[in-house]
Amino acid sequence: MKKKIVISLVFIILMVTFSSIVGAETVIKYGLWDKNQVPAMQKIIDNFETEYPDISVKIELTPYSQYWTKLQISATGGSLPDVFWLNGPNFALYASNGMIMPIDEKIKNSDKISESSYIESLVNLYTYEDKLYGLPKDFDTIGLYYNKEIFDKYNVEYPKKDWNWNDLINAAKKITNQSEGVWGIAAPQDGQENYYNTIFQSGGYIVKNENGKKISGYDKQDTIDGLKFWVDLIHKYKISPTLAQMTDTSALDLFSSGKVAMLYHGSWQQIAFSNNEYTKDKVDVAVLPKGDRKGVVIHGLANVISSQSENPEAAWRFLEYLGSEESAKIMANTGTVIPAYKNTQQAWLDSNPNMNLEAFIEMLPHSYPYPQSVNTAKWNELENKYFNKAWSGEISVKEAADKVAEEMNKILREE
């Protein structure tokens, strides 16, 4: 009898152990920073987990202001998320230091995705020393958002496709009413959203290759002109809040609460405006006014796999799914972002019929890649350090630009 009981117990233990092994679930972490994209990302994850029931994906949401610091700490401590978002300015740093995995060979062997499925400039953006490390997720451009209600109140015509800088300034002058706390436009010290675009429009550049070496363009007059446009909105024309005012309350918050009539911002922001009770019926978007020429910054995010991942195969399966046409359509249909997957952008355009989203696509023929180098973050710090002084009126735009160029070139020479 005892022998039968022992045998039965052993059998039960073996069955439980076997069931545990068979039902073992691999958990991978997915790092991102935009809370507005979480619903779409979670829908993609739900579909992925249905197809791969043995893999569970947990989102790690970190605000953008903390994301890169946390990522650096995690990289040093060996605890990077298995899969995470990476942008152009930080890509070369992580690729050159072996923090992320090359995925060329895996894509070649995939029956679900191929490099040709994505916009070529974004594939190139996430290629380092002839190896692809990031799978393009989306792309973005910048548009001129405007508050129709404010324009109507001051009887000002809405922005047109053929607007230039002077048209914008004249409209902002008509709207600005400091006694009522209303400004024609906000001119925060922002690169991608603001002055990178006007630098390209004035014929300048931020960084470029010359004789095999990268050099700064900040000490060039065309570049300085693109910077000065924004500082003049504050100090010469007085149609924008001051840097101090925009530090107390961000330009985005001022626009979102009806205190500012116009704002340069990215295509990713439209979903937040559409979900905001105040802005959803009042805000539309137009192409950027031109300077000497048309121009806009194009950028895009990529999903990457950490080289520290303990579950690289599961991470790859998830990355592969994130890069699929099905995932791109989920992002497009929800209006979350413009997918990098070719021929899925129309669904994004159709996702918000109340806004002229076509403006972001119309700018593509006049787009310039987001400026970057291996140590982009270092010279981004210089931009903030010196341009804040120019925006506040403490020093001239030329003084600030010359200082950035001088110190930036030292950084570039060390790359």
pLDDT value of position 25? 86
Other C-beta atoms closer than 10 Å to the C-beta of 230 total 24
**Mean pLDDT, range 217-230, rounded to an integer:** 98
For residues 176-181, average pLDDT: 95
Do 39 and 133 lie in one domain? The reply is: yes
Q: For residue 3, what pLDDT is reported?
A: 44
Is residue 334 assigned to a domain? yes
Q: What is the pLDDT of residue 24?
A: 59
Shared-domain flag, residues 112 and 255:
no
Q: Domain check: are 258 and 330 in the same one?
A: no
Which CATH number fits the domain that encloses residue 75?
Answer: 3.40.190.10
* Predicted local distance difference test score (pLDDT) of residue 22: 38
How many structural domains is the chain composed of?
A: 2
Are 85 and 135 found together in one domain?
A: yes
Same domain, 58 and 136: yes
Please give the C-alpha separations between residue 101 and each of 113, 131, 178, 282, in angstroms, as whole numbers.
17, 10, 53, 44
Domain span at residue 242 reads 141-296+368-414
Question: Mapping DSSP to helix (H, G, I), strand (E, B) and coil, where does residue 299 land?
Answer: strand
Candidates 356, 366, 321, 360; CA nearest to 341 is 321
Quick one: 214 and 70 in the same domain?
no
Q: Which of 365, 384, 405 is the last residue of a domain?
A: 365
On whether residue 66 sits in a domain, the answer given is yes
Q: Give the tens place of pLDDT for each residue, 281-338.
A: 999 999 999 999 999 999 999 999 999 999 999 999 999 999 999 999 999 998 889 9
Helix/strand/coil for 199: helix
Residues 192 and 85 reside in one and the same domain: no
91 pLDDT higher than 60:
yes
Report the alpha-carbon distance of residue 104 to residue 101 in Å, rounded. Answer: 9
The pLDDT of residue 313 is: 97
Last residue of one domain, picked from the residues 345, 365, 385: 365
Instruction: Tell me what the pLDDT averaged over the chain comes to.
Output: 93
Beta bridge partners of 216: 207
Query: CA-to-CA distance for 337 and 297, rounded, in angstroms?
Result: 16
pLDDT of residue 391: 98
Average pLDDT over residues 325-353: 93
Same structural domain, 197 and 86 = no
For residue 384, being part of any structural domain is answered with yes
Reading the block at residue 66, the tokens are 């903390």
To the nearest whole percent, how much of the chain has pLDDT over 70?
94
Residues 134 and 35 in one domain: yes
Q: Are residues 258 and 157 in the same domain?
A: yes
- Considering only 7-16, 98-107, 362-371, 378-387, which range has the smallest mean pLDDT? 7-16
